[in-house]
Amino acid sequence: MVPGSITIVKNVPGTDPEDFCFVSSFPDQNGGRPGDFCLDDDGNKHVKEVVAHPGAVIVLPLLDDGRVVLIRNRRWALREVLLELPAGTLERGESPINCAGRELLEETGYLAARIRPLLSFYTSPGILSEKMHAFVAEGLQLRQTAPERDEEIEVAPLTLADAIDLIRTGGIVDGKTIATLLFYERFGR
């Protein structure tokens, strides 16, 4: 949990309260109420600490020459710069495909003529409700980047083969990037 955050235990809307519930550090999300809890099959009460998340996107941008546009992104929590695909959090009411286009432009400066869904997956379902939506972006036209104030990003295009090799050798360690690149290589072309 984030230091100083308010913790609320609540049931997930649209699910059976006996099946799943979670703790949120965001008291206004999904109508949480203090005192909500989980019941297991034997009727025992449980509190599960899980971070509520609005969802996110990751974009696999393909240049006309076949290279993948990756970014070097400073990750403050790790105190490292990671090689990643562009990604970001959904804003309230924003569709995943619109978020993909926005994040691609903000982080890389590329505008896509075509964005298509690739897959969706949960990033860490034991502790986080985040659902990641992966997209492929094609027909890229270079515009202007617009990173957020706290972002330090550098564009780093690579061939798909080089990116896959960096996964093998430990040069790419970001889980969402690994999953998206490997899925694309195996199933998405």
Give the pLDDT of the chain (189 residues) as one tens digit per residue: 333 333 334 444 444 433 334 444 444 344 444 445 666 677 777 666 777 789 999 999 999 999 999 999 999 889 999 999 999 999 999 999 999 999 999 999 999 999 999 999 999 988 888 999 999 999 999 998 777 777 788 999 999 999 999 999 999 999 999 999 999 999 987
Specify the pLDDT at position 21.
43
pTM of the model: 0.78
CB-based burial of residue 132 (10 Å sphere; 0-12 exposed, 13-18 middle, 19+ buried)? buried
Residues 25-58 as b or e (16 or more Cβ within 10 Å = b): bbeebbebeeebebeeeeeeeeeeebbbbbbbbb
Domains and CATH numbers, the chain: 8-46 (no CATH), 56-188 (3.90.79.10)
What are the residue numbers of the active site?
A: 151
**What pLDDT score was predicted for residue 11?**
47
Going by their DSSP bridges, the two strands 38-39 and 131-142 should be labelled as unpaired
What is the reported pLDDT for 149?
74
* pLDDT of 19: 39
